[in-house]
Amino acid sequence: MTRGQRASPAAAQGWPFLLPLLIILLCVIGYPLIRTLYLSFTDASLNALGIRPAWLGWDNYAYALTNPDFLLSLWHSTYFTVVSVALEVVIGVLVALLLNQKFRGQAFARALLILPWAIPTIVNATMWRWIYNPEYGALNALLTQTGLMGDYRSWLGAPSSAMNMVILADVWKNYSLVALIALAALQSVPDEIYEAAALDGVPIWTRFWRLTLPFILGPLSVAVVLRTIEAFKVFDIIYVMTRGGPADATKTASFSVYQEAFTYLQAGSGAAYANVMVLISALLIAGYLLLMKRQRAA
């Protein structure tokens, strides 16, 4: 419907059916958002339930944006997002290209691809904690028995390696989503194009860059945006594997929100932290919507 046109009678008749859903969304999503926004301007504390909080204006936001701990956790979230999404895209595309080839057991291999993504994050995090265990973990056993490392080490206990180990666990779970999207996009590439390029002697890298990538770029961009939004909000795998440690080396912005509100019981500043994250996520979502609009226009 263009600007200035009135809604059709059929569209107007649909609104009463949508009304219950809109009411539920308003209660489940709208009220918590408004309540969190209100708390972020007050000195609300979980230690003082039942007492009307005092109005502080923008003080909580000023505190959040000048607090080095919170800024460091935002940097950890950014690092986690950039590295994990980049690795997921590279590995996912490579796996999709491999599974797009014809070989015996192709259907079985494709079915296995969904297994890591189907595993709950809590289970995945616990499994990787066992793999990284400094006493009986499989990673230490593999590296020492193959001569790549002399002694066992605590992968999650060292600030220099903890974040990268968590990223590895997250990549193992989520690369399959990118691979599935890329594989679905590859099905739309006509085989005749590859056959003609092979007959002309076009190198493999040029075939990928000039022929394959344009076909998968649109769906891949959507996967990147969705994974970026999800990765920036990471909390569960951090909570299970490291609880933000050691020495806050893996404390992300979401974990800072949890810690400020439920460990330090500062609901006001915790709400301000959360709203800063909501604002950043909203910017990412706006980028996603813009991307979808451009794809529809293409």
- In this predicted structure, what is the pLDDT of residue 9? 67
Tokens of 122: 């809590």
- In this predicted structure, what is the pLDDT of residue 259? 94
Element (H, E) at 39: helix 31-39
Q: Is the peptide bond before 120 cis (omega within 30 degrees of 0)?
A: no
- pLDDT per residue rounded down to tens, the chain (298 residues): 444 455 566 667 778 888 888 889 888 888 888 999 999 999 999 888 778 899 999 999 999 999 999 999 999 999 999 999 999 999 999 999 999 888 888 889 988 888 998 999 999 999 999 999 999 899 999 999 999 888 889 999 999 999 999 999 999 999 999 999 999 999 888 888 888 888 888 888 888 888 888 888 888 888 888 899 899 999 999 999 999 989 999 999 999 999 999 999 999 999 999 999 999 988 888 877 787 777 667 6
| 3-class SS shares of the chain: helix, strand, coil, % to 5 | 75, 0, 25
C-alpha Rg value of the chain to the nearest Å: 24
Can you name the residues that pair with 42 across neighbouring β-strands?
A: 55
Domains of the chain: 80-250 (1.10.3720.10)
- In this predicted structure, what is the pLDDT of residue 26? 86
**CA-to-CA separations, 193 to 198, 200, 233, in angstroms, rounded:** 9, 11, 40
**Sign of torsion, CA 75 81 83 86?**
negative
Distance of CA 60 to the CA centre of its chain: 27
Cα(78)–Cα(86) distance, rounded to whole angstroms? 12
Neighbours of 92 (CB within 10 A): 26
Can you name the residues that pair with 55 across neighbouring β-strands?
A: 42
Residue 228: half-sphere exposure toward Cβ, Cα within 13 Å: 19
Identify the CA nearest to 154 among candidates 134, 168, 129, 125.
134
- In this predicted structure, what is the pLDDT of residue 1? 47
Helix, strand, or coil here: 62?
A: helix
- In this predicted structure, what is the pLDDT of residue 156? 95
Give me the phi and psi of 44, to 5 degrees please: -55, 140
Identify the CA nearest to 171 among candidates 255, 234, 243.
234
